[in-house]
Homo-oligomer: A and B are copies of this chain.
């Protein structure tokens, strides 16, 4: 998106790790917002994120009051280590900012309660940044489940696993508060709450282990959590840092009329297997996947001055090939050299292949 459009509300990122870089990349894909500030433990790491972002300022966590005093900052994303989530969110809310907190919200229910009540007290937005709730596949799965695609739900499982975290603090008990369950199980639990429309959870049980990373941490690196719903349904969340073959993010929902399988990593996408044995792959977002959204966005941008990528000349080039193809078919498939121009008077390309038969 052209720089000129990167106006919009000012966004500050607290933290300069992997998720802040993801937020910055996402920011550049949407309209209505721009990077205003980044804070980190050190100014140097904050500056690595602001580099090349015109107008974005770098701060240390100690300078948070200055960052929050900037009236151009409207939305603050709390991407710091888990231990600092509550402190950072509270400071931002009290400074009158809208706030987004990266998962997990914080480490204790006391913290959670004070952050939530601060948002209400100050009348500010307090967003909880669970990305899976915005992933097209999970949104489509929720839609299908709402439509009763598998009948009455009997049992479901979400799997969220990979080989281990991006930053050393994830292995640190004080900074992270927990291991793979805290980091990955967070995703699975909220994804289950999301696709099942926030059901009441009656009871919880779990098994944890430290397997692959036992030399590096005493935190859990493998977890199975069971959520028992009021109606007798069990939702299972499996999370792990002990899968060495790459990221897994998957959902299976078994019901009285079939099974929904979701595989975010692309092997099989979304599948709906029904009682009768048929399997369909429901389209997820065809407008987007087939390019129609991008196409129109591109042409609207071009009308606003952005460079044009697909022009009339491309359409002409295609037409020339189509005409040559019809001519070739009309001559037993022989090669037609380009450039090609049909005899004058041919106004319907197909006439180069064969004249109207009048048969139909």
Q: Is there contact, CB below 8 Å, between B193 and A317?
A: yes
Contact with B along A144-182 (1 / 0, CB 8 A): 000000010011000000010000000101100111011
A350 and B179 contact, Cβ closer than 8 Å, known pairs A9-B300, A326-B206: yes
A71 close to B (CB within 8 Å): no
Chain B residues with Cβ below 8 Å from A151 are 244
Interface stretch of the complex, out of A45-53, A62-70, A339-347? A339-347
A328 and B287 contact, Cβ closer than 8 Å, known pairs A103-B315, A130-B310: no
A84 close to B (CB within 8 Å): no
Chain B residues with Cβ below 8 Å from A310 are 127-130, 133, 190
A143 close to B (CB within 8 Å): no
The number of chain A residues with a CB under 8 A from chain B is: 181
A55 close to B (CB within 8 Å): no
In the complex formed, the residue of B with least CB distance to A356 is B173
18 contacts between A and B (CB under 8 A): A11-B300, A23-B292, A26-B287, A75-B299, A98-B302, A106-B315, A130-B314, A131-B290, A178-B326, A185-B322, A186-B318, A198-B317, A204-B321, A205-B334, A206-B324, A206-B326, A266-B283, A279-B279
Chain B residues with Cβ below 8 Å from A3 are none
CA distance A243 to B156 in the complex (A): 11
A126 close to B (CB within 8 Å): yes
Identical chains bound together, number: 4
Chain B residues with Cβ below 8 Å from A234 are 209
> A-B pairs with the 10 shortest C-beta distances?
A105-B315, A278-B278, A134-B291, A134-B294, A245-B273, A135-B291, A206-B325, A128-B315, A126-B312, A204-B324
Q: Is there contact, CB below 8 Å, between B324 and A108?
A: no
